[in-house]
């Protein structure tokens, strides 16, 4: 009898611990292919997975901004199938219309599911260099290009996407939600304790300077979403600067 009670207590503790972790992480949707985590009342992180030769099955982050029954997505899931799953969650569960998708750079973890957005008439945006580099790789191309800076609005709220220098790639941008003081840095910004990662298309010598430019351009950042790993604060900027400092 004592053993049974002890087993029950252990089970309850495990369940409570699991619930605490789930609440702490604010996970609002989870399947084998897609995890959505709420960061602020209007900001969500979406995570999908990409099988790579060098790093195995990698979790890849993107951002969703939902306000005034409208949504902007930053980086697509890694496939069209999961992009459809994400769009369905936004439209069905959040009752929001997806107004656009912004691509951070030309790698597959940013635009692998772009076709699914185009099929539903959702406009896509990217740095003009991103479009050029994606074309060279025979990837689906973002529809609308910009040089330097792009501002998109959801009602009276705006998001700034800007190219501030080379780093992870020649074309990588960052996106800043002013109202929430949230920065989506993509693969240019590293989660704490992360390695340098994929450097195949990187400009390592410019990387730290570019992230310093990000800090200067957006001095009020409170929350940072990296391309891989956990969400953090401006310490992710400082960590990335030190990681690539020569």
Hey, which residues are catalytic here? 105, 107, 109, 168, 187, 190, 198, 228
CB 75 within 8 A of CB 102: yes
What is the chain's alpha carbon radius of gyration, rounded to the nearest angstrom?
19
Q: β-strand 97-103 against 123-127: which pairing, if any?
A: parallel
The encoded tokens of residue 181 equal: 């003081």
Single out the residue of 71, 102, 68 nearest to residue 175, CA to CA: 102
Question: For residue 194, is it left (φ>0), alpha (ψ between -120 and 50) or beta?
Answer: beta
């Amino acid at each position: 009898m004592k053993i049974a009670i002890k087993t029950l207590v252990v089970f309850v503790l495990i369940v409570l611990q699991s619930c605490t972790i789930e609440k702490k992480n604010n996970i609002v949707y989870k399947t084998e292919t897609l995890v959505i985590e709420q960061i602020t009342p209007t900001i969500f992180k979406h995570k999908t997975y990409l099988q790579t030769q060098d790093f195995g099955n990698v979790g890849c982050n993107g951002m969703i901004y939902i306000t005034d029954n409208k949504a902007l997505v930053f980086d697509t899931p890694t496939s069209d199938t999961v992009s459809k799953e994400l769009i369905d969650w936004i439209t069905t569960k959040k009752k929001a219309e997806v107004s656009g998708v912004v691509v951070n750079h030309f790698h597959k973890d940013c635009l692998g599911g772009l076709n699914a957005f185009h099929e539903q008439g959702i406009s896509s945006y990217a740095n003009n260099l991103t479009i050029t580099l994606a074309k060279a790789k025979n990837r689906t191309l973002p529809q609308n290009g910009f040089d330097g800076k792009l501002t998109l609005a959801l009602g009276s709220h705006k998001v700034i996407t800007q190219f501030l220098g080379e780093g992870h790639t020649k074309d990588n941008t960052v996106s800043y939600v002013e109202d929430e003081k949230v920065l989506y840095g993509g693969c240019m910004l590293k989660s704490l304790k992360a390695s340098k990662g994929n450097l195949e298309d990187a400009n390592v010598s410019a990387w730290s300077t570019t992230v310093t430019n990000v800090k200067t351009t957006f001095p009020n950042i409170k929350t940072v979403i990296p391309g891989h790993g956990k969400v953090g604060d401006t310490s992710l900027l400082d960590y990335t600067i030190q990681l690539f400092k020569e």
